[in-house]
A and B are shown apart, each in its own frame.
Chain A
């Protein structure tokens, strides 16, 4: 049922798939860390290289399962870039790792593939498959140093809780299917929007299904009240995996949520918007408050990511083209900032042995600037950007969110965004002050590791430069995001179909 154009359009995903399989086979034939990392990097580069070709054919509906539109391909590119950065940073991190190192890349590629199909999915089947592929790979990535206690604990926690959330998701999807008779987002969207809420006997099933769906997604996005797992898992996971978890898995779900909301006209359902609003405000408040006096950098970043996802929801709720653009820009910023921050932790932790844990206590960073100026400088830029200081990408991203919130007259959310940013300033700057403290914590034994591995240093420098460059001159990125979002939200967009849409069972009203 696929033709040549479909294959070309699917090229990026197929490249990821091929890379996954190839890496897996290579590991079986010959164990070589460099080879595995190289294959993974080449596969991700191939995926990126095929994106423009796929974009030329977009928007394209592949067999009802995937919708290859420019925005989805943009997110795929973002995810691949993040995976590439993770891959390069993990290379330095794992170089001194005692156990087997090669499988990390297989899992990374598989998770990326899953995330890719999540952002492109137009059908619950594709979405759920992609999500599970991503989650299962993440369990293993989190617990990768399985001989150590904390990663193992974190992995098991994530396994159990993610299983719970998947159950919620599946149940929600089932309810939606029961009511609408369709698993395709666009398939049941129109009727969902037109339904008078609560007036008919069964609309509540649809509502309950969507509420469960949002709960499941909320877990993956670590929104309050589904956020409790995040700090423990972040703390236990090896730093590159934690960075990947914070960016790719959350970013993919957020992108999917925007698409889902757009296609199903979720904004016409006040109840769902109230739920999202609640989650956003609670996340901003709780995330920032929890991070306030945190002494562990990884936990701090986990809490801050809860807050940042809350900020992001402001634009999701605002909706419209501006909202979608704001989400895209903010995710771009969020990816760069968090990858950089976790990358620095990874670089500092790479020399550590079992039992030492990672370099994540704030104490480990005291006076870092005076013996590792590059890493401290990069971390400073990342933290300032997370705090949303002007001339960094974080400021532009936050401004975008702000503009979309104001445009949609969501004043409560905008107020929460502003208040949260003020609290956030405190704990980000607290870390910056520690970095520049005059009494260095005598170049601690663990920190003296091989943090200068060039791949990692280069990636981190590139990320930090991107942060500043896109903060000073954000126009190219904005231009790109505007162009990929141009046709996305127009309801009259004519979708290129290869075959007539499948017959749907008539809707029971």
Chain B
């Protein structure tokens, strides 16, 4: 039954791609949302089946053997283990809610059918990626996700800026994908199998810890993960990817695309264990990213860009968790993040929708009364993101990451995480206060209906209660998630210090969260006075830490330069010469085709003489 999970959205995509233009919006919405809904049902069914089975042994469903030629064997298989179960459920369920929301959000758009076709393909690709049992299928899903992100970011293709953003996303992630492909080929060439489990077993058997091959493979995979998950230094595409429709942003940020990198590293974590240097790099990158992106988020004016930087920052937390061996913590944070980030994006979409496409938070304000549901969604989602202690899901997952950073004796990483937490609550507080408090500037014009409201409510509930599957010792000590995932991951290293220090650290994290929000409120109140200072800072921070500028100078301009030099010059000449040579040969050979039988007969005879001569002489 497992294959149905990715098959339903794929079928929906095919239907919509073939007949989407001729279907009414109602039919498109039914097919598009229904297919993902069915997929989510199938996913839940498979998951319940899986959980009911004793011992949670992994399922391997071989679909077919694509080719088996001379020892080169590629199979397409699906693999379901606890990790895949969690990912699959989140992707399918959150994906479904976003589809439902889109039916109303996109109503009236002329590309309605196209939109849902892409969206379905997106979910299908992500589910393929998550469930893939072998590297080839995983790569297929990975590339499918990349393609769909390109199509959806540039969905409103009439505006050239959107096309540019889409291209940027595609090219930057492509840089990472090249690394991934090389890594996969390296693994395949050295270990001789594309089946993930067999490959990991072989790697663990053949390579000692710290072996250069393992490090190379892990580093290349990391490059792919950095691109897809928008981590330093390949993070520049994500803020610009806001050009797509808002539900797409929700899908990219919460359920699909950017978490693919986290999933990849989690799925192949034995390789990271074999390469401690790379794992340390993962932690470092995560820590640096989460702080820098958090600072960037403070100075954005576009409501969606704030959220985009916050995504980069939160994925940074997940990388930090991976880097310190907190495999479960990374997945836990992925899950809660999927809930609250989808909630925030959808709520932001509701605000934008109500204000007829207004993105600038400076022109928003006082929307608390006009859009109560969006307001409360924002409050819940923002609180969860800011990790408000005990009552939100985000607190538990972030606390687990911080605890694990501390317990592996890396106080530096913990400090970065703590500063990040402070920043998070600061920028979230700023966003909420700016948009929903203060004097009303732009009146909300359009209310929204149940299709947009229901996902908000569901996600809001999940953002609160989703954290109770895994709580620290000082608050119930629930271990549902880690015991469920225990079959997949080795136990995280626990410091002997125990519950006391964990409680202390939890309190510190709580202080960061509450302190940040308080500071944000204080700043909001004195905003008039601080405006000048902020403007000054913005000049420095807002343009993405100068990364765009740096890349522009370092990569894009030299590239243009080389292209300009190469135009009509050396390289082109070589290619043109090759093409001309081919054409010349074509003309030369064409002359042999005279149409005269005696010439043809002479050709055959000459060939025969040549053959006999060579055959005897050699």
**Beta-carbon contacts under 8 Å, B575-618 to A:** 582-583, 585-586, 589-590, 592-593, 595, 597, 599-601, 603-608, 610-612, 614-618
Given contacts A218-B607, A290-B586, A403-B70, contact A229 B612 (CB under 8 A): no
B618 touching A212 by the CB < 8 A rule?
no
Chain B residue numbers with a CB within 8 Å of A406 are: 70
B63 and chain A: residue at smallest CB distance: A473
Q: Is residue A349 contacting chain B, with contact meaning CB distance below 8 A?
A: no
Chain B residue numbers with a CB within 8 Å of A207 are: 615-616
Q: Is residue B53 contacting chain A, with contact meaning CB distance below 8 A?
A: no
Given contacts A290-B590, A292-B582, contact A399 B69 (CB under 8 A): yes
> Which one of A5-13, A17-25, A157-165 is at the interface?
A157-165
In the docked arrangement, what's the CA distance between A308 and B574, Å? 28
Q: Is residue B560 contacting chain A, with contact meaning CB distance below 8 A?
A: no
Q: Is residue B68 contacting chain A, with contact meaning CB distance below 8 A?
A: yes
A215 touching B612 by the CB < 8 A rule?
yes
A210 touching B64 by the CB < 8 A rule?
no
B589 touching A215 by the CB < 8 A rule?
no
Chain B residue numbers with a CB within 8 Å of A229 are: 600
Given contacts A161-B601, A207-B615, contact A168 B608 (CB under 8 A): yes
Chain B residue numbers with a CB within 8 Å of A322 are: 69-70
In angstroms, how far is the closest chain B Cβ from the Cβ of A418? 15
B611 touching A215 by the CB < 8 A rule?
yes
**Beta-carbon contacts under 8 Å, A338-353 to B:** none
Q: Is residue A436 contacting chain B, with contact meaning CB distance below 8 A?
A: no
A212 touching B599 by the CB < 8 A rule?
no
A226 touching B603 by the CB < 8 A rule?
yes
B64 touching A473 by the CB < 8 A rule?
yes
A278 touching B590 by the CB < 8 A rule?
no
A474 touching B70 by the CB < 8 A rule?
no
A208 touching B595 by the CB < 8 A rule?
no
In the docked arrangement, what's the CA distance between A164 and B590, Å? 23
A228 touching B600 by the CB < 8 A rule?
yes
In the docked arrangement, what's the CA distance between A229 and B600, Å? 6
Chain A residue numbers with a CB within 8 Å of B48 are: none
Chain B residue numbers with a CB within 8 Å of A204 are: 616
In the docked arrangement, what's the CA distance between A478 and B589, Å? 37
Given contacts A225-B607, A290-B589, A292-B586, contact A399 B67 (CB under 8 A): yes
Chain A residue numbers with a CB within 8 Å of B603 are: 225-226, 228
Chain B residue numbers with a CB within 8 Å of A403 are: 69-70, 72
Q: Is residue A145 contacting chain B, with contact meaning CB distance below 8 A?
A: no
In angstroms, how far is the closest chain B Cβ from the Cβ of A215? 4
In the docked arrangement, what's the CA distance between A474 and B73, Å? 12
**Beta-carbon contacts under 8 Å, A185-211 to B:** 204, 207-208, 210-211
Given contacts A161-B600, A290-B586, A396-B67, contact A226 B612 (CB under 8 A): no
What 0/1 readout, one digit per residue, does chain A (404-437) give for beta carbons within 8 Å of chain B?
1011000000000000000100000000000000
B599 touching A228 by the CB < 8 A rule?
yes
In angstroms, how far is the closest chain B Cβ from the Cβ of A86? 26
Q: Is residue A231 contacting chain B, with contact meaning CB distance below 8 A?
A: yes
Q: A289's contact among B582, B599, B605, B616, by CB below 8 Å, is which?
A: B582
Given contacts A271-B618, A293-B583, A475-B64, contact A226 B69 (CB under 8 A): no
B593 and chain A: residue at smallest CB distance: A231
A275 touching B600 by the CB < 8 A rule?
no
Q: Is residue B65 contacting chain A, with contact meaning CB distance below 8 A?
A: yes
What 0/1 readout, one digit per residue, does chain B (45-69) give for beta carbons within 8 Å of chain A?
0000000000000000000111111
**Beta-carbon contacts under 8 Å, B542-585 to A:** 582-583, 585
A214 touching B611 by the CB < 8 A rule?
yes
In the docked arrangement, what's the CA distance between A156 and B67, Å? 44
Chain A residue numbers with a CB within 8 Å of B600 are: 157, 161, 228-229, 232
B614 touching A274 by the CB < 8 A rule?
yes
In the docked arrangement, what's the CA distance between A121 and B606, Å? 29
Q: Is residue A362 contacting chain B, with contact meaning CB distance below 8 A?
A: no
B584 and chain A: residue at smallest CB distance: A289
A208 touching B616 by the CB < 8 A rule?
yes
B593 touching A215 by the CB < 8 A rule?
no
What 0/1 readout, one digit per residue, does chain B (504-540) give for beta carbons within 8 Å of chain A?
0000000000000000000000000000000000000
In the docked arrangement, what's the CA distance between A272 and B617, Å? 11
In the docked arrangement, what's the CA distance between A403 and B604, Å? 32
Chain B residue numbers with a CB within 8 Å of A231 are: 593
Q: Is residue A400 contacting chain B, with contact meaning CB distance below 8 A?
A: yes
Chain A residue numbers with a CB within 8 Å of B68 are: 475, 478
Q: Is residue A246 contacting chain B, with contact meaning CB distance below 8 A?
A: no
In angstroms, how far is the closest chain A Cβ from the Cβ of B143? 12
A219 touching B604 by the CB < 8 A rule?
yes
Q: Is residue A286 contacting chain B, with contact meaning CB distance below 8 A?
A: yes
A164 touching B67 by the CB < 8 A rule?
no
What 0/1 readout, one digit per residue, does chain A (251-283) give for beta carbons within 8 Å of chain B?
000000000000000000011101100100000
Given contacts A293-B586, A478-B67, A478-B68, contact A228 B592 (CB under 8 A): yes
Q: A423's contact among B582, B589, B604, by CB below 8 Å, is which?
A: B582
In the docked arrangement, what's the CA distance between A226 and B604, Å? 5
In angstroms, how far is the closest chain B Cβ from the Cβ of A507? 20
Given contacts A225-B606, A228-B599, A403-B72, contact A208 B582 (CB under 8 A): no
In angstroms, how far is the closest chain A Cβ from the Cβ of B604? 5
Chain B residue numbers with a CB within 8 Å of A326 are: 69
A423 and chain B: residue at smallest CB distance: B582
B599 and chain A: residue at smallest CB distance: A228
Chain B residue numbers with a CB within 8 Å of A165 are: 604
B597 touching A160 by the CB < 8 A rule?
yes
Chain B residue numbers with a CB within 8 Å of A210 are: 615
B69 touching A289 by the CB < 8 A rule?
no
In the docked arrangement, what's the CA distance between A423 and B593, Å? 20
In the docked arrangement, what's the CA distance between A62 and B291, Å? 82
B606 and chain A: residue at smallest CB distance: A225
Chain B residue numbers with a CB within 8 Å of A399 are: 67, 69
In the docked arrangement, what's the CA distance between A399 and B70, Å? 11
**Beta-carbon contacts under 8 Å, A371-407 to B:** 396, 399-400, 403-404, 406-407
In the docked arrangement, what's the CA distance between A293 and B590, Å? 10
Given contacts A290-B590, A475-B64, A475-B65, contact A272 B615 (CB under 8 A): yes
What 0/1 readout, one digit per residue, does chain A (441-484) give for beta carbons within 8 Å of chain B?
00000000000000000000000000000001111001000000
In angstroms, how far is the closest chain B Cβ from the Cβ of A206? 10
**Beta-carbon contacts under 8 Å, A115-157 to B:** 156-157
Chain A residue numbers with a CB within 8 Å of B582 are: 289, 292, 423
In angstroms, how far is the closest chain A Cβ from the Cβ of B296? 41
Chain A residue numbers with a CB within 8 Å of B601 are: 160-161, 164
Chain A residue numbers with a CB within 8 Å of B72 are: 403
Chain A residue numbers with a CB within 8 Å of B595 are: 232
In angstroms, how far is the closest chain A Cβ from the Cβ of B615? 3
In the docked arrangement, what's the CA distance between A157 and B598, Å? 9
In the docked arrangement, what's the CA distance between A425 and B561, Å? 31
In the docked arrangement, what's the CA distance between A407 and B601, Å? 37
Chain B residue numbers with a CB within 8 Å of A474 are: 66-67
**Beta-carbon contacts under 8 Å, B185-209 to A:** none
A sample of 12 inter-chain contacts (CB < 8 A) reads: A157-B600, A161-B597, A168-B608, A208-B615, A210-B615, A215-B612, A228-B592, A228-B600, A271-B617, A275-B614, A475-B66, A475-B68
Q: Which 10 A-B pairs have the closest CB atoms?
A: A211-B615, A225-B607, A271-B618, A215-B608, A228-B600, A211-B611, A292-B586, A403-B69, A403-B70, A211-B612
